[in-house]
Amino acid sequence: MRLRIFLILFVVLLLAAVAVVLVVSNLGGLALLTGNGDGGNATSGNQTDGGSQDEPLLPTPTATPAMRFVEVLVARARLMPGTVITAELLTVELRPEDNVAVRANYTFSNPEELEGRIVGTEIPPGQAILNSMLALNSTDLASFGSDLALYVSRGNVAVAFPVDQYSGIAYTMRPGDRVDVFMSLTLQQVDEEFQSPLPNVLQLIDQEALLTGQYFFFPDTFNGRLEFIPEISTIGFIIPTEGVDAATRQVTQLTIQQAEVLWVGTWTDPRIVARGNDANIAEGINPESPVPTPSSFPARVEREPDLVILSMTAQDALLLKWALEVGINIHLALRAQGDGTVYVTTSVSLPQMIEQSGITIPEQGEFREYPAIEQVPTPGVPALPPADLLTP
């Protein structure tokens, strides 16, 4: 019995000793991990006088400067050119102090500086009022130019161009679109000396009468020249073509690229509208009501625009002007949004189409279509849309 008690006490003491050893080992490892090994006397890293440690390889943190804001006067509502500014049209907003307009001293902060000033260009709501947006006086408004000129890219010019439902891409263009210009030219070969269409009219003469100095024309003629005709080994009198359908050739090419659409609509003479407003005011009619259009200017529907204003280089504008004045067939093509591709195209003509498009020239046969192709009207849509589409 005593031996059993002795063995139990021995096992308990042994387990207690093992537990003490494990606790001491854990405390030593924790001291090494925290850098306080060797009884807390050893230190790692550099210490300052206050006992704090510096983190190695890290820069000293610097304080981020706070962004400063200043008060700026902005438009409370949309201000149109000619508007006299009052305090009710202004509001105050905060802008960063490093804003370009603020740093350049173009903005205003005191409402008294703006009261009574005249707006020179359209100012959208929320836009800071800048000194360059104001007119010196009411007569200075004209110096700002037209609103449209603000949208013409520097180095370009604006050109008005007449369109219909074919040439104007079915009236789908809107300001900001980019279009290309296609032109089709009908060419005729001309006599180098006469500068008249070929072929020339051949008029025979009496060669014996010519040799003997007698009258040799059959019949009388004018504006021609004598020329030896090798095909018939005789002298003929060549005169310019008159009243004869000369052979023509047509060629089509992409001539102007990426012209910007500035405006699409119908033209209204502002002088007519102004005179109508003056007459209405004299008769006590509200000038904002629709003004009857004079009979010489028929009413038009806005869904049928007849003009587009394009922005392009001066050289392209010259090309377009020349083409319009000589009657060249012109069509516009709409570009995809953001498409800046510059195309290199080959002009299209009948010989080019036959050579490169795989067209086979038909052989002569015993029959032809009836009626003749030149007697068949060209298919197309009406010049004006149906009346029900014009109803407001």
Kindly report, residue by residue over 205-260, the tens digit of the pLDDT.
777 777 888 877 766 555 667 788 888 888 877 777 666 566 678 889 999 999 99
Q: Which fold has domain 69-145?
A: Type Iii Antifreeze Protein Isoform Hplc 12 (3.90.1210)
Task: Identify which of 92, 96, 127, 95 has the alpha carbon closest to the alpha carbon of residue 113.
Answer: 92
Q: What ranges do the domains of the chain cover? A: 2-37, 69-145, 190-239, 271-299
* Separation CA 262–CA 174 (nearest Å): 8
From residue 39, alpha-carbon distances to 35, 52, 376 in Å are: 10, 19, 113
DSSP readout, 174-233? Answer: -TT-EEEEEEEEEEE-B-TTT--BSSPEEEEB-HHHHHTTS--BSS---S-EEEEETTTT
pLDDT in tens, the chain (392 residues): 566 676 677 776 777 776 766 655 555 544 444 444 444 444 444 444 444 445 556 666 666 667 789 999 999 999 887 788 998 999 999 988 888 888 888 899 998 989 988 887 889 999 999 988 887 765 555 555 556 776 788 789 999 989 988 888 888 888 889 999 999 988 888 888 888 877 777 666 777 777 888 877 766 555 667 788 888 888 877 777 666 566 678 889 999 999 999 888 876 655 555 555 555 545 554 444 443 333 333 333 445 788 899 999 999 999 999 999 988 999 999 999 889 899 999 888 888 888 887 888 888 888 878 887 778 887 766 655 555 554 54
* Separation CA 19–CA 24 (nearest Å): 9
